[in-house]
Structure 1
Amino acid sequence: MSEDSAHIAARMVTPGKGLLAADESTGTIGKRFKKLGIECTEQTRLAYREMLFTSPDLEKYISGVILFDETIRQRASDGRPIPELLAEKGIIPGIKVDKGLVDLPFFPGERFTQGLDGLADRLDEYRRMGARFAKWRAVIAIGEGTPTSQCLRANADALARYAGLCQVHGLVPIVEPEVLMDGAHDIKTCRWATEAALHEVFDALVRYRIVFKDMILKPNMVLSGTDCPRRAPPDEVADMTVACLRRTVPAAVAGIAFLSGGQSDTTASANLNAINVKAQTMKTPWTLTFSFSRALQASPMAIWLGRPENTAAAQQALIRRARFNGAAGLGQYDPETEHAA
């Protein structure tokens, strides 16, 4: 990897900034649009994402945007390619490169991420289009007897092979092993599963000779399951998450950008803030920031509704949310200030 890649990785986790994950598949964004009565066409998807990307001052709080294959190939209303539009604002364009989930044979309830076939050629194409980093998501479910060691190994190996291809082809890899919130498990179970997943991932990354300073880790926060009777408060989430990272993540990793994983926007901000306060106390070696999708987009999408006249209000909602998350990434988010605003 070149020094340029290390520089890009460092920029992606600039303190006070984070990543906007706008890489929802056509099916996923279609479901979200349908709930709000928005027609889902190539034109409406472009209009929505252009609304997000052209928000005034977005670059103050967003360092990079993860794009979907359709979006990286599109042009804004003024004719500029979407990656160029972002780059001119000082925002780094990135691309989701995995091909989604398939069932892991003989392991009921567990899934595997596909997309390694032909990946080298796709990475070269995306780099020519302007992408400077990539993302690959693995999914780990907690349930009766899961996750199994084989599921963890299979997904870790794929993540490592993907990361190696990225580094060879000049893109910074975001490595995303997501332990899902779905289930009635408590926060201690989530910590166990997250530690197990991260141990397997970094073991594989070492075996595949990945350069840690030129990659970003995108993990889940350690949380109670969505159906758990007791939801852990931010201080406990912070204690568990920071302890987990200190046991599993090498200091050389360029930075850590948490996924929101289905949390509400305010809950994700509160938990990110508590994690950073705890990390500062423990003097952890990484920048801890965000790479959120729904926790950044829920409010602007609900305001926009596919209507041009709502663009300014939707953009204001995005900037407000991004500003709060930027503050949380510094350990300076105050929920009371948000409520007052």
Structure 2
Amino acid sequence: MNFSNLNSIACYIVENGKGILAADESNPTCKKRFDTISVESTEKNRRDYRQLLFQAEGMLDNIGGVILFDETIRQNTNDGTPLVDLIKQKEALPGIKVDKGLAPFENSDIEKVTQGIEDLDARCAEYFKMGALFTKWRAVISIGNNLPSQGCIEENAKLLARYAKTVQKNNMVPIVEPEVLMDGSHSIEECYDATSRTLKSLFQNLEEENVDITGTILKPNMVTPGSEHQEKIGVETVAKETLRCLHECVPGNLPAITFLSGGQSETVSTEHLDAMNKIGGFPWKLSFSYGRALQAGALKAWLGKSENVDTAQSAFSHRALMNKKAALGQWSKDLEV
């Protein structure tokens, strides 16, 4: 697969309804996932599980890119095949998470800033040599009493822009992920406000850093109420408010928006994506970059046992196809058999 420029890479990842498998869980996060199925989080088990996903039939035609963790991009299968090559065999592109996690923002107990900018250039050069064609950097924004602060939004937006510029210099597409967290009891209006402020700051900073927007992918949250909010908000409302926010804040020359699932269940995240694509009328491709919302069923079916690999792969393949259909606005509940 030869690409003439960064825009062609970004477009390839989301063409024909394809989306991204986020398989970039850090080892501590992977341990939490494995604890739920009573499987020890060893390097081999992590490798076996990800190998299972990458070899699933449903990768082909449904997944255009896979975000890897540093450990995974260096791993091989039992027969010595690099995991990166497994991904390419399914006509998907390998990507890599490059941030180094979160630190407190100005001694706050709640607000965070993302680490990893200091040695990013050298790491990007290495990852590009290893076959990565795109990268991801996640910032987190919390809603609470008088939060998010504009200072925290600005600091994270500046870092996302510096990250994106460094990645493009190293011939890879940056995914910018400013996640407004679902944690809390906030309303959908408060989420809209925080998301709007975050996206406006992000694109202003990307412009100031002269980042090529046509070679960038946005990975945002959807505009939803907090996970502890009492009032039930319909799918249509989430879709409309998310689109309203994107129209207000995101330039039309951005090629793709691949949503994070952010704690939504497998089917709810699919349903929201489908509703937005059914509404239509936007200049970007709207697709998915899901971790748990693509993997939860597969993890539950696998249970760390080799005899369950086929069942786990079927669960993953089904979810990948459902999300492709949602990215095309062709999903319906009766497909979830």
Compute the TM-score of the two structures, normalised by the length of structure 1.
0.97
Number of residue pairs matched?
Answer: 335
1:1-341 alignment runs, 5 A limit:
3-278=4-279, 280=280, 283-338=281-336, 341=337
Displacement of 1:82:
1.1
The SS at the match of 2:16 is coil
Displacement of 1:100:
0.2
Superposed CA deviations along residues 243-296 of structure 1, whole A, max 9, x for unmatched, are: 000000000101100000000001101111111112x1xx21000000000000
Say if 1:142 and 1:179, in contact at 8 Å, map to a contact too. yes
- Provide the rounded CA distance (Å) in 1 between the counterparts of 2:58 and 2:237: 34
Displacement of 1:115:
0.3
Say if 2:58 and 2:320, in contact at 8 Å, map to a contact too. no
Displacement of 1:88:
2.2
Compute the TM-score of the two structures, normalised by the length of structure 2.
0.98
Displacement of 1:108:
3.7
- Provide the rounded CA distance (Å) in 1 between the counterparts of 2:25 and 2:293: 13
Displacement of 1:337:
2.5
- Provide the rounded CA distance (Å) in 1 between the counterparts of 2:334 and 2:190: 31
- Provide the rounded CA distance (Å) in 2 between the counterparts of 1:43 and 1:288: 35
- Provide the rounded CA distance (Å) in 2 between the counterparts of 1:62 and 1:53: 10
Superposed CA deviations along residues 127-160 of structure 1, whole A, max 9, x for unmatched, are: 1111000000000000001000000000000000
- Provide the rounded CA distance (Å) in 2 between the counterparts of 1:231 and 1:135: 32
Displacement of 1:15:
2.9
Superposed CA deviations along residues 295-329 of structure 1, whole A, max 9, x for unmatched, are: 00000001001100000000000000011110011
Segments of 4+ moved more than 4 angstroms: none
Displacement of 1:72:
0.2
- Provide the rounded CA distance (Å) in 2 between the counterparts of 1:112 and 1:231: 31
Q: Which runs of 5+ in 2 are unaligned?
A: none
Which residue identity does 2:311 align to in structure 1?
A
Say if 2:99 and 2:138, in contact at 8 Å, map to a contact too. yes
- Provide the rounded CA distance (Å) in 2 between the counterparts of 1:206 and 1:295: 32
Which residue identity does 1:291 align to in structure 2?
S
- Provide the rounded CA distance (Å) in 1 between the counterparts of 2:322 and 2:57: 16
Say if 1:220 and 1:259, in contact at 8 Å, map to a contact too. yes
- Provide the rounded CA distance (Å) in 2 between the counterparts of 1:336 and 1:52: 25
The percentage of aligned residue pairs carrying the same residue is 46
Displacement of 1:232:
1.4
The SS at the match of 2:15 is coil
Which residue identity does 2:301 align to in structure 1?
I
Displacement of 1:87:
1.2
Displacement of 1:231:
2.7
The SS at the match of 1:267 is helix
